Structures are given as structure tokens and as C-alpha cells.
Amino acid sequence: MIRKWLRLDELAFDREIVAITIASTLLLMVDYYFPLTPVNVADGLGLYLLIPLAMIVFAFRRPVREYGFTLGDWKAGLAITGAAILIMAPLLWLIGRGDPAMQRYYAWQATKILPLLTALDLLGWEFFFRGFILFGYEKKFGVHALWLQAVPFALAHITKPAVETLSTIFGGFAFGWVAWRTRSFLYPFLIHWFVATFTIIVAAGLLG
């Protein structure tokens, strides 16, 4: 498929890269400054899942599987997900129990429907970074898209505890690599869902 370009004087811009960059930046800002509904989860699904999907289908006219909306290499995906959970669980336990800032930030979020809430919250979030931005940028920048998508992901964590925020440039790259390796955002979503849910449970002291 021939990519279309925007020209400004002597500059030629890839229209999809421009659209992804502007849209992803504005969507993050809208989410921060202008809550659209009383339910954060609903805002996240709309801003980070539905709008990017609509852009892919109606503006870019591309199949959503090109942006990681597919099962991809499910055998590798499940193996990587299982290994990541085994490796990260003890680290999350130490951080969640040992850092008062993590406890203050996360403990109050523990509810009976916690797994459902974190899943709904992260579904759009992961597609946004590890689908829409990652695979959109990959078409132009190749493997460098792994680092490019990690930057806004890290900056979006600035209001969270320092120990978490400082790790997100590397965590964002790792999540991106899982998506790139499997060609699907599903497996970083599953890993992130475990990380978020387990962190809250540990911070709340629900496991003793």
C-alpha cells in the first residue's frame, strides 16, 4: 500500500505518523484535563481503544491486526506471559510491601471487583501504547518504535510513586518488545493486568 505524504514547503511528512503523534498526545492531555464521564474506566476505553481503532479503520483504512489487534503468536505470547509473571511476582511483593509511597497510592484501590476494574482500565491503555503507537511507528521507524512508544508511556506515570515511574521507560520498552515479538498487544496487556492487580493486592496487605 502506498503511503501518503503531507508537504510543508520542502518538508514531507508521513500522514499516519503525523496523525498518530498528534492524536496520541492530545488523547493523553484530554484524559488528564477533561474527564468525559464519572467513570475513569469508561474514559480510558473510549479515548485509548475506540478512538484509535476508529482512526485505523476509517482514516488509515488498514486492518486492525496490523496494529496488534490479533492473537498473534499465541504460543510465544503465553510462554512469555507466564515467565514474566513468575519473575515479577517476588519483585512486586518486595516493592509493594516495602515502599510506603506505593502503599499510600495503591492500597485504597483494592475492591472485590479489582481484577475486572484493572482489566477494563488497562485494555485501552495497552492497545494505545503497544498497538496504536508501537505498530503505527514501526511502519516508519522499525525497531526504534520500541523506544519511541516507551517515552509517552513513561511520562504518563509522572504522578505515580517515584519507584514505579522511574522504571517505566524500561518497563514500557519491555512491554513493547513482547507486543513486537508476538505481533499482538494482548500479551503485554495480560502481563500489565497481573502487575497492576497484584501490586494493589500487596500494597493493601491482602496477602498478609
Write down the pLDDT at residue 208.
Answer: 63
Q: Is a pLDDT exceeding 80 seen at residue 4?
A: no
Residue with grid cell 496487605, as numbered in its chain: 205
pLDDT tens, 187-202? 999 999 999 999 999 9
Write down the pLDDT at residue 10.
Answer: 75
1: confidence class by pLDDT, cuts 50, 70, 90: very low
In a domain, 208, yes or no: no
In a domain, 44, yes or no: yes
Mean pLDDT of 140-155: 98
Give the domain extent around 67. 5-203
Q: Is a pLDDT exceeding 70 seen at residue 2?
A: no
The structural domain count of the chain equals: 1
**How would you class 47 by CB atoms within 10 Å of its CB: exposed for 0-12, middle for 13-18, buried for 19 or more?**
buried
Segments in 128-185 forming alpha helices (H)? 134-141, 145-155, 162-165, 168-182
Write down the pLDDT at residue 182.
Answer: 98
Task: Characterize 121-138 residue by residue with b for buried, 16 or more Cβ atoms within 10 angstroms of its Cβ, and e for exposed.
Answer: bbbbbbbbbbbbbbbbbb
**How would you class 52 by CB atoms within 10 Å of its CB: exposed for 0-12, middle for 13-18, buried for 19 or more?**
buried
11: confidence class by pLDDT, cuts 50, 70, 90: confident
Residue with grid cell 488523547, as numbered in its chain: 27
Q: What is the DSSP letter of 111?
A: -
5: confidence class by pLDDT, cuts 50, 70, 90: low
CA distance 188 to 192: 6
pLDDT tens, 155-176? 999 999 999 999 999 999 999 9
In a domain, 69, yes or no: yes
pLDDT tens, 89-132? 999 999 999 999 999 999 999 998 999 999 999 999 999 999 99
- CA dihedral (190, 81, 139, 54) in degrees, to 10, reads -20
pLDDT tens, 47-96? 999 999 999 999 999 999 999 999 999 999 999 999 999 999 999 999 99
Write down the pLDDT at residue 207.
Answer: 81
